Structure 1
Amino acid sequence: MELFLAITVGGLFAAGFYCLMLHSIVRIALGLVLLGSATNLLIFTINGLQRGFAPLVPEGQEALSPPFADPVPQAFILTAIVINFGLLALLLVLVHRAAQETGTDDTRALRTELKDSKQ
Structure 2
Amino acid sequence: MSVVLAAAVGGLFALGTFLLLRRDLVRVVWGVAVVSQAANVYLIAMGGISEGGNSVVPVLSGHGESVPETADPLVQALVLTAIVISFGTTAFALALTYRAYQENETMDVQEWQ
TM-score (norm 2): 0.81
Higher helix share: 1
Report the Cα offset of residue 67 of structure 1.
Answer: 2.6
Q: Any runs of at least 4 consecutive aligned residues in structure 1 with deviations exceeding 6 A, and if so which? A: none
Match of 1:47 in 2: 47
Match of 1:98 in 2: 100
Among candidates 81, 85, 88, match of residue 87 of structure 2: 85
Match of 1:70 in 2: 72
C-alpha RMSD of matched pairs (Å)? 2.1
Match of 1:6 in 2: 6
- Runs of 5+ in structure 2 lacking a partner? 51-55
| Rg comparison, structure with higher value | 1
Structure-1 separation of matches of 2:95 and 2:101 = 10
- Runs of 5+ in structure 1 lacking a partner? 114-119
1:107 has 2:109 as partner: yes
From the superposition, tell whether residues 76 and 41 of structure 1 become closer, same or farther in structure 2 (CA, over 3 Å): same
Which secondary structure state, in structure 1, belongs to the residue aligned with residue 71 of structure 2? coil
- The alignment of Structure 1 onto Structure 2 pairs a total of residues equal to 102
Q: Deviations over 1:76-102 (max 9, x none)?
A: 110110111011011010000111111
Aligned partner of 2:106: which letter? T
